[in-house]
Amino acid sequence: MLKSGVKRLLGRAGFDIVRSTNNRGGVDDFIPFEATMRAARAAGLSVGDYIDEVMNGTPGATQSTIDELRTLGVFAADPGTVLEIGPGSGRYLEKTVKECAPSRYEIYETAEPWANYLVDTYSVVARPTEGCSLGPTPDASVDLVQAHKVFNTLTFLSTCRYFFEMARVTRPGGRIVFDVMTEGCLDPAAVRAWVSKGGEGHDSYPAAMPRQACVDLFATLGCNLEASFLAPMGFASTEVLVFGKGLDS
Ligand SMILES: C[S@@+](CC[C@H](N)C(=O)[O-])C[C@H]1O[C@@H](n2cnc3c(N)ncnc32)[C@H](O)[C@@H]1O
């Protein structure tokens, strides 16, 4: 049964929820498909813009992250194969395919209605999603691996397992992009805001991740931090990290 506290919390951070098909201990529910699509249509907005503007109160947030990634050269090499973990409504997916028109786009998404919608709308390939593995994707086969607003909803261990998998599937010379809620997003004012506006009914959201632990771990996997920037997450923020996988990795 969905807990009202969870709904309230995710609503405040920009998400209302629906149960996804495969839960592994994090807040791995997502906004209801039909109701969200209806509401976006009624507002005359794309579903991505509806989530940014109406649900999250952060108009243009998705585009600003994509703009930063473009400025950093993430799309410059025209990644031909992209993999996204937890694309949800596809708000980053939609803008990514405009930037680089990959010939193959794989998704790992636990919320089945949204995964089906993305397959139908963007002809992406939905891989069986078991929680923290990218098993069906071969080693070194992807140019750009990304996940947005996913790892603050998963447990620490699931996120770390995904990290190893992301490094494994990335081609040498490829990029890995994801956001995590690091120390940079957790000054006392932000912690106060989370304590007063979030948390009730669900102890695992949002999950924090030490920045240096990410940087050190990915370095051992042949991936070096190239850039980072803060992005809005509802009333708070999250840090986007961009790694490049070494050519000799
Ligand atoms: C907070 S939403 C973010 C969605 C989208 N990336 C965005 O920013 O709008 C988290 C997404 O991750 C999905 N998800 C949850 N657990 C997952 C898992 N273990 N593997 C892959 N996706 C997962 C949810 O269904 C949801 O689509």
Output 13 or 77, whichever has higher pLDDT: 77
pLDDT 10s digits, 125-161:
999 998 899 999 999 999 999 999 999 999 999 999 9
pLDDT of residue 202: 66
Q: Which atom of ligand 1 is nearest to the CA of 15?
A: 1
pLDDT of residue 205: 86
pLDDT 10s digits, 70-79:
999 999 999 9
Distance 111 CA to ligand 1 centre (A): 8
Distance 234 CA to ligand 1 centre (A): 15
Q: Whose CA is nearest to atom 6 of ligand 1?
A: 87
Q: Is 99 in the pocket of ligand 1 (CB under 6 A)?
A: no
Distance 248 CA to ligand 1 centre (A): 31
Mean pLDDT of the chain: 88
Check whether 213 has a pLDDT greater than 60.
Answer: yes
Check whether 224 has a pLDDT greater than 60.
Answer: yes
pLDDT of residue 111: 95
CB 93, CB 107: distance < 8 Å: yes
Q: What percent of the chain has pLDDT over 70?
A: 86
pTM: 0.90
Q: Is 89 in the pocket of ligand 1 (CB under 6 A)?
A: yes
CA distances from 23 to 35, 109, 170 (A): 21, 11, 25
Q: Is 149 in the pocket of ligand 1 (CB under 6 A)?
A: yes
Give all domains of the chain, ordered by start, each with its CATH number.
Answer: 4-245 (3.40.50.150)
Distance 20 CA to ligand 1 centre (A): 9
Distance 123 CA to ligand 1 centre (A): 19
pLDDT of residue 23: 37
